[in-house]
Amino acid sequence: MKVKEKNKYLPYLINSLIVIVIFCLILLLSKTSPFGDALALGKSDAIYQYKPMLYNFIMKLKTGTLYQFSFNNGLGNSFFFNFAYYLSSPLNLVAIFFNNPDFMFLSVILIKMSVTSLFCTFYAKSKNCSNFTSLIVTISYAFCSWLVVYYYNIMWLDTFMMFPLFQYGLEKLIAQNKPTIFILSLAYIYATNFLLAFAVLIYGLVYFIIKNFFYDKKEIKKKLKTFLIFIGSFIFSILLIAFYFCILIDVKKQMGLGFSDANGNMYLVSTIDFIKSLFYGNNILMLDFAGNTFPNIAVNTFIFLNVIYYFLNSKISSRDKAFTFIGICLVIVCIFSVKVDYIMNFFHNVVGLTYRYSYIFSFLAIMLFIENAQNYDKKDFKKMLPIIIALLLIVLLLGTKMNKLIVIFNGVSLLFCLFILFCQNEKVLKLSLSFFVIIQSLLVGYLTIPNKEENSYEKLPNNFESKPLKYRLTTIGENDYLNKNLYTNQDVTYSFTSMTYNDTLTLVNKLGYYAGKNGMSGNIHNELFNLLFNVQSSNNYYLEKIYTVNKNILDIKFSDNVKNNTEDLIKKMTDVEKIYDKVILKPTEEDDNFYYFQVDEEYALLEEKDNVEVISKGKIKLNKNASQDNLVIYKLNQDKLKKIYEILSTKQIAYTYYRDDLIEGKIQVSEDQLIFTSIPYDTNWHITIDGKEVQPVKLLNALIGIEVEPGNHTLKMEYRFDLTKPLIISIVSLTTLLGINFYTINKKKKKKAKN
C-alpha cells in the first residue's frame, strides 16, 4: 500500500516528460528555432506580435520600465489592454528566466503543455484509469489537431490546458454539489482569454442542462438546488476576476471592441473534406483553393476508432449511447452551421481562425475513450473488423491531395488495429499502441507545427534598451532602437494588436494614411503626417506630441475625400492653404485592361478613386473603363511643409519630465488657441494645468485636446488605470471561497474525529 502511495505521482511526471520530449523532438527534427535556424518557432501573428510582445513585457519587467502606457505601439495604447488580451496568463512569467526571445516563447509553450498533461492525467486518474490509459489520453489530447494547428497562440493555450480540470469541476458540481474547482478553473479561463472562455461557458451550460435535468435521475428539488449552485458558481467566478472584467469593460469603451457581422464568413465545410480532416487534421489537407476552413477535432486514429466502438460496446447502456448521440449531433451543428460557429466565437467571424473552440470536441472524444477503457470487451471490439476494413479503404480512396506520409501512416495504423483484434498478449498490445500514438503525434506535429511557408524571418536580437524616446518611430529595419526593442509595428499608425483605438485608426485613414485606394503613402514618405504626429523621419520635420493650434480645429468635419480633409485640417490649425501641387501623369505602360503609372515615393494623393489600384509602392494601375487615360495626383508642396513646421514648431511643449505614462512641461498658449496632442483620447489620462485638474476635449473625434486660458502654463499628463475597487472585490471573493472550503474541511475532520 505504501509503495502505491509513493509512486502515485509518477504517471504525472512520466506523461508530462513524454509530452515535452515529443514537442522538442518535433522542433529538433525540423531544425526549428531555438534548436536550429531553418524555421521560426511560431508562425503568422506569433512572429510579428506574440513573441515580440512577450519579450518586451518580460524585459520591461526585468528593467523596471513597464509603464501603464506606451507610445511604441501605433500612436500609443494602454499596457492593460494588450495585457488583458494577450499576456494575462501567470504562466507567461516562466519566460523571466530567459533573455533569448525564442527560448522565452518556447518556455511558455512547454510549461503550458506540461500543465496540460498534468490536468489530463488527473482527469483520467479521477476516472480510475490505468497508467497506460492515462498515457494514451494525455498524449492524444496534448497533440490533438487543435494544438498542432494553434500551438503558437500562447494566449489560447491556457484555456486548452485548463479544460480537463474544468470538465472535472463541472462533473463534481453536478454529482456532488461541490463547486470549488469549477469556480477556480472557469475564473482562470476567463482571466487568460475571454474569447475562448465564452465558448467554454456555452459548452458548460449545455452540458449542465443535459446532464443535470435530463440525464441524472435525481429528485427535481435536488436538480434545482444543483442549478442554483451552478448559477452561483458562475457569478462567484466572475467576482474572483473582477479586476480583469474591469479592464475588459474599459477595452470595450475605449477601443471600440465590438461584434462583427454575422454574415462576414460564408465558408462551407464539405462532408468529404470533413471526413479527411478527422484522419489528418486541417493543416495537412492539400486543397486546390484557399479560404476554406476546417474544425480541428482530429485526435488520432485510435481515439477516432474508439468513438465508433463506443456504440458497439455492449457494456455501455443504451441510455448513455442515446445521450452521447445527442452530444455528437450538437457537435455536428457547431461544425456545419456558420451561425452557430459565429456565436461560439463570441459573435465574431475570425477569418482563418474559425472553430478555435474545437479542442472541446477533441476532449469529448477522449472522454468516450476513457469510458470504453473502463468497459472494454474483447468480443465487442471484434465487431470493429468490417468497420476498420471500410475505414482502411476510405483512407486509401481519399488519400489523393494528402500528404502521402500521413496516408501511409494512417493505413498502417488501421492495419495495426486489425492486429489488435486478434492479438492475445496484453503487454505487446500496450507497448505497440503507445508506440503508434507517440509516432503519430510526432509525425503530424513534424508536418504541421514547424512553419515551412515562412522560413525566412529576422532573427530576434537578445539585447534591450529601456531609454524612453520622445518621438514616435518608423519601421523595423529602419531604426536600430526598434530592432533592439522588437517594436512590432510595420507602420506607425497600424499596429499588430487587436487592442488599438478604433477612432484613431479612423482618423489616420481620413487623412490618407494607409488609406488604400485613396492614398499611396508609407510612414517614411508621408512627411505631413510625420510632422503632425511626432514621427521621426529623414527630413527631421516632426513636432513634439504636444503643441498649440488654432481653435478653429474644433469645427472640422471630415468627409471621405483625403485631400480636402488634410487641407482643411492644416488651414484650421495654421491658416496655411493650398498645400498640394497638382500633377498629371502619362502611363508608362499598358495592357488590354489597364494603364500603368510610375510614381516616386513622395506622399501623393490620387484624384481618381473607383478605377485606380495601387499595386506596389510607386506603381499604380488605372482601369481603361475610366473616362481618362492619364492620372491626376497631388504632391505635397515642400515650401508649404516647411512653413507649417515653422509655425507649429514655435508652439511646442518644453518638457521638464518625460515618460510614456507621465508627461510634464511648460507650454505657451496664445489667444484663440488650444493645446493639441497627438495622443489617442483615453479617459484614463489625468490632466492638470497649473496644478488644477481639467477635462480634455476629444479633438478630431480621436485625440486629446485641452482648452485653456491664454498665457504660460505648466502641464501634467498622467496615465492612471485605477483597479483598486475591482481588486478588492477579487481579494474578498477569493478569501470568502477559501474560508468556505476551510470551514467545510474542518467540519468534516471534526465529524470524523467524533465518529
Where in the chain are the domains? Answer: 2-448, 500-647, 648-719, 723-755
At residue 508, the pLDDT reads 82
Amino acid code (one letter) for 431: L
Omega within 30 of 0 (cis) for the link into 34 = yes
DSSP letter string, 85-129: III--GGGGGGGG--SHHHHHHHHHHHHHHHHHHHHHHHHHHTT-
Q: Dump the DSSP string for 276-317.
A: HHHHH-GGGB--SSSS---------HHHHHHHHHHTT-TTS-
- Residue 302's nearest CA partner among 488, 208, 440 is 440
580 DSSP β-pair partners: 636
Residues 6+ apart with CB under 8 A from 232: 179
How far apart (Å, rounded) are the C-alpha atoms in residues 628 and 584?
11
Is 65 in contact with 54 (CB distance < 8 Å)? no
Are the beta carbons of 476 and 59 closer than 8 angstroms? no
Dihedral angle sign, alpha carbons of residues 208, 209, 214, 220: positive
Cβ neighbours of residue 82 closer than 8 Å, sequence gap 6 or more: 53, 73, 497, 499
Sheet of 546-550, strands arranged across:
546-550, 673-680, 703-706, 697-699
DSSP string, 594-656: EEEEE--SS-EEES--TTEEEEETTEEEEETTSS-SSEEEEEE-HHHHHHHHHHHHTTB-EEE
Q: What residues are paired with 520 via a beta bridge?
A: 604
For residue 743, how many other CB atoms are within 10 A of its CB? Answer: 10
Lookup result for grid cell 523621419: 537
In angstroms, rounded to a whole number, what is the distance separating the alpha carbons of residues 518 and 509?
Answer: 9
The vertex-277 CA angle with 276 and 282, nearest 5°, equals 130
Spatial CA neighbour of 453 closest among 9, 43, 145:
43
Question: Mean pLDDT, 10 residues at a time, over the chain (755 residues)?
Answer: 62 95 93 83 80 87 88 81 88 93 93 97 95 94 90 95 98 95 96 93 96 91 95 94 87 71 65 73 48 69 86 91 93 86 82 82 93 82 83 77 74 82 81 88 84 54 71 60 48 56 82 52 65 77 92 90 90 94 89 86 68 74 82 88 94 94 95 94 95 95 94 96 88 88 79 73
What SS3 string covers 563-588? Answer: HHHHHHHHHHHHCCCCCEEEEEECCC
Cα gap 302→417, rounded to integer Å: 8
Separation of alpha carbons 202 and 191, rounded Å: 16
Instruction: Look up cell 506596389; give the residue.
Output: 616
- The full length of the chain comes to 755
Q: Pull the grid cell for residue 116.
A: 496540460
- C-alpha–C-alpha distance, residues 520 and 541, integer Å: 20
588 exposed, middle or buried (CB, 10 Å; 0-12, 13-18, 19+)?
A: exposed
Cell output for 90: 501567470
Cell numbers given for 155? 494566449
Q: What is the pLDDT of residue 219?
A: 92
User: Which 3 state secondary structure label does DSSP give 44?
Assistant: coil
Whether 284 contacts 448, CB under 8 Å: yes
**Could you give the count of Cα atoms lying within 13 Å of 179 in the half-sphere of its Cβ?**
21
Backbone φ and ψ for 612, nearest 5 degrees, come out as: -115, 145
What pTM was estimated for this model as a whole?
A: 0.88
| pLDDT for the residue 289 | 40
Provide the phi-psi class of 457: left if phi over 0, else alpha when psi is between -120 and 50, else beta.
beta
The answer to whether 626 and 611 have CB atoms below 8 angstroms apart is: yes
DSSP string, 190-203: HHH-HHHHHHHHHH
> For 388-394, which contacts have Cβ atoms below 8 Å and span 24 or more sequence positions?
388/305, 388/414, 388/417, 388/418, 388/421, 389/418, 391/305, 394/275
Q: Mark residue 428 as left, alpha or beta (left: phi above 0; alpha: psi -120 to 50; beta: remaining).
A: alpha
Exposure of 394 in the CB half-sphere (CA atoms within 13 A): 16
Query: Nearest to residue 601, comparing CAs of 611, 614, 588, 582?
Result: 614
C-alpha cell at 417: 488495429
pLDDT at position 406, please? Answer: 76
Using CB atoms within 10 A of its CB, is residue 9 exposed (0-12), middle (13-18) or buried (19+)? exposed
DSSP assignment of 221-247 equals HHHHHHHHHHHHHHHHHHHHTHHHHHH
pLDDT at residue number 583: 87
Q: Letter for the amino acid at 733?
A: S
